Amino acid sequence: MRTTPAPRRASRALAGAGAAAVVLVAGVTGCSSGGSGTGGERDGQATGHPAPRWNTSPASIAAVGDSITRGFDACSVLADCPEASWATGTDPEVHSLASRLLGQAQAAVGTWNYAVTGSRMADLPGQMAAAAQHRPDLVTVMVGSNDACRPTASAMTPVAEFRAGFEQALAGLRAASPKTQVYVSSVPDLQRLWEQGKDSPVGRQIWKLGICQSMLAEPQSLGPAATARREQVRARVVAYNEALREVCAKDALCRYDGGAVFQFPFTPEQLSRWDWFHPGKNGQARLAELAHRQVTSPEPPA
C-alpha cells in the first residue's frame, strides 16, 4: 500500500480523528476510472442525459481524511498504523475496504492513503487534489472529527466554513477526475466515544495530553457546564453530517453513508486500548464492513 507520511499528533483528535469523518478513494496505476456497475446513484440529469451509474466493483481506491483513516493508535500508542486503516489497510485482522474490493495482494500495492492525523476540513481540498492525480475509481472521505475536537467548544469549525471546504474539495476532484466515485463517511458520535472511554483510568490519562478537549475535558464530570459543552459538540457533529449529506446529494457519483458511522454503537472492545477513543483494529474492521456493504450496494442508503 502506498501511503504518505503523517505526523504523530497526540493533541489533535480522533482519527484525525478522527471522528472524526467521513471517506474517499484512489486508483491503481494503469486502471481507468469509472467502470461499469449496477444501480443508479441519482435520477436523470436536467440535460436529459442518463445519470452516471454507481460502480459497485471499483478497481482502484484512494483515501483522504484524518487519524481514523491513518489507523492512529490502532497498533501502538500515539502513532499512526496505516496498515490497520479501514479504507486501505493490509492487516488481515482488519480486512479493509480495499482488501475486500481488490483482494489482499492488490490492496498492498494498488491504493493511496492521503489521510493525515489531525486534519480538518480545511485540509481536505489539498488531500483530494493529491488523490485526483491518480484518477481512482473510488475515493473515501472521513473527516470532521477534528473540526469538532478543538481545545474548546468555541473553537470548533463553523458549519458554513465546514460546508464550503467540502464543496471546494469535491469541486476540485470533479475538475481533475470527473468519473471518480466518492464514498463519504459520517463523522462519528464523539459523545458516545466519551461514554465508552470515560471510566478507563488509562484512557483518561491519555486524554489529558490534549485529545479532543472540547468533548473529553473533565471526563468524569456530570455537572451542568460539562454536560452542556458535550451536548454542544455533539450538536455540531450532527450539523457537520447534515452538511456532508446535502453537498454529497448534489453530486451524481457521491454516496453518503446515511449516518451509519455516526450511529454505530462502538463498544470498548472496538476502541484503542491505548487511548479509548480512536478505533482499535476491531473498530477499524467494523468501519470496513460498513463501507463495503454500502459501496457494493446497488442503491445508496435510504
Residue 100, amino acid:
R
C-alpha closest to that of 74 among 135, 33, 17:
17
Instruction: Please tell me the number of Cα atoms within 13 Å of 179 on its side-chain side.
Output: 17
Half-sphere exposure at residue 18, Cβ-oriented, CA atoms within 13 angstroms: 32
Query: What confidence tier does 216 reach under pLDDT thresholds 50, 70, 90?
Result: very high
State the pLDDT at residue 203. 86
Question: At 49, is the pLDDT very low, low, confident or very high (cuts 50, 70, 90)?
Answer: low
Contact yes or no for 95/288 (Cβ under 8 A)? yes
Query: For 2-295, CATH number?
Result: 3.40.50.1110
Burial class (CB in 10 A: 0-12, 13-18, 19+), 240: buried
> At 111, which helix (H) or strand (E)?
strand 111-113
Question: How many whole angstroms separate alpha carbon 16 and alpha carbon 11?
Answer: 10
Distance of alpha carbon 241 from alpha carbon 153, whole angstroms: 17
Beta-bridge mates of residue 181 = 138
Domain ranges of the chain: 2-295
User: Torsions phi, psi of 113, nearest 5?
Assistant: -120, 105
Averaged pLDDT for residues 124-141:
97
Q: Which one has a higher pLDDT value, 72 or 104?
A: 72
| Model pTM score | 0.84
Cβ 65 vs Cβ 53: under 8 Å: no
> Residue 170: CB partners within 8 Å, gap ≥ 6?
128, 182, 247, 248, 251, 254
- Average pLDDT, stretch 102-106? 88
* 65 contacts: CB under 8 Å, gap ≥ 6: 15, 16, 18, 21, 22, 23, 24, 87, 115, 119, 124, 127, 140, 141, 142, 143, 185
Question: Looking at the predicted structure, is the pLDDT value of residue 82 above 70?
Answer: yes
289 Cβ contact list (under 8 Å, min separation 6)? none
**Stretch 132-148: mean pLDDT:** 97
Helical (H) or strand (E) element with 105? helix 104-107
- pLDDT score of 87 more than 70: yes
- CB–CB of 114/64 below 8 Å? yes
